[in-house]
Amino acid sequence: MDLNLKDRRVLVSGGSRGIGRAIVECFLAEGAQVEFCARSTEGVQQAQQAFGPRATGTAVDVTSSGQMQEWVAAAASRLGGVDIIIPNVSALAAGGDPEVWRKAFDTDLMGTVSMVQAALPWLKKSASASVVLISSVAGREVDMFAEPYGVMKAALIHYGKTLSERHAVDGIRVNTVSPGNVYFSDGVWGDIERNQPELFAKCLASNPLGRMATPQEVANATVFLASDAASFTTGTNLLVDGGLTKGVQF
């Protein structure tokens, strides 16, 4: 299937590692031009070397709306416009402390809102505009990451649906991907595997397919929804969870 992504102009936040890195790699494999950001300058530089010349990285604090606006504007200028954005950064915050809630709100929710708002003027000029938000199964069902992580991820699903209704008239499709357990060695599940092996084994066993997802599997779904192959799909929340969630979607 030809996803028709050659030379599409793509922005990805949190693109230096994990799911975000896999998303960047997948777009590059399809011939797109990618601008990505992450908080760590060192991480951005290392990823930049691995990605090659069709990707450009910038160190950005997504909790700063000013930095986000500057990055999006500069990226759009370098690319000559924007066709696709993937807001992907998460604080992975857990706990009841108000500061933890604020970190989750500023990163997961407002980091996404700032990126969308900064990119909208460019997306409205695109003939194939698409936004894919990255939520989580924790935004759909109560689990060990229920708050504040799950609360913010639930808000992103609602935000995505709202955007899809509001901007259909502008020709902008907006969808959400909700991954289940995604394993990579320097991610949260790699950390749990090393430091809480009993908890890791219990969570692993809850996956009906007998394993956790790879970042590439989440990237595949994300890039598909962003592409012309999903040209009549907007406002959906696509679970990539290996059957982890039990609720029926209507």
Residues 6+ apart with CB under 8 A from 35: 9, 10, 11, 12, 55, 56, 57, 58, 71, 75, 78, 79
pLDDT along the chain (250 residues), means of 10: 94 97 98 97 96 97 98 98 97 90 97 98 98 96 86 97 98 98 90 91 94 97 98 98 90
Give the whole-angstrom CA distance, residue 182 versus residue 88: 14
What integer pLDDT is reported at residue 130 of this predicted model?
Answer: 98
Mark whether 153 is an active-site residue. Answer: yes
Q: What is the DSSP string of 6-60?
A: TT-EEEEESTTSHHHHHHHHHHHHTT-EEEEEES-HHHHHHHHHHH-TTEEEEE-
What is the 3-state secondary structure of 89-124?
A: CCCCCECCCHHHHHHHHHHHHHHHHHHHHHHHHHHC
What integer pLDDT is reported at residue 61 of this predicted model?
Answer: 97
Residue with tokens 């691995």, as numbered in its chain: 50
Report the predicted TM-score, pTM, of the whole model to 2 decimal places.
0.96
Give the whole-angstrom CA distance, residue 110 versus residue 102: 10
What integer pLDDT is reported at residue 2 of this predicted model?
Answer: 84
Mark whether 246 is an active-site residue. Answer: no
Single out the catalytic residue among 126, 136, 164, 227. 136
Helix (H) or strand (E) holding 176: strand 173-179
Single out the catalytic residue among 13, 114, 128, 135. 135
DSSP classification of residue 182: B
Helix (H, G, I), strand (E, B) or coil at 133: strand
Give the whole-angstrom CA distance, residue 13 versus residue 88: 5
Single out the catalytic residue among 16, 90, 130, 149. 149
Nearest to 238 by CA among 146, 169, 187, 164: 164
Contact predicate 82/123, CB 8 Å:
yes
- Count Cβ atoms within 10 A of the Cβ of residue 73 and give its class: 0-12 exposed, 13-18 middle, 19 or more buried: middle
Single out the catalytic residue among 153, 161, 178, 227. 153
CATH superfamily, domain at 9-181+214-240: NAD(P)-binding Rossmann-like Domain (3.40.50.720)
Beta sheet of 33-38, edge-to-edge order: 55-59, 33-38, 9-13, 84-86, 130-134, 173-179, 237-240
Does residue 148 have a cis peptide bond before it, meaning omega lies within 30 degrees of 0? Answer: yes
What integer pLDDT is reported at residue 175 of this predicted model?
Answer: 98
Q: What sign for the dihedral angle of Cα 69, 71, 35, 121?
A: positive
Give the whole-angstrom CA distance, residue 83 versus residue 68: 17
Mark whether 136 is an active-site residue. Answer: yes
Nearest to 71 by CA among 29, 14, 18, 21: 14
The encoded tokens of residue 220 equal: 């595949």
DSSP classification of residue 86: E
What integer pLDDT is reported at residue 222 of this predicted model?
Answer: 98
Mark whether 227 is an active-site residue. Answer: no
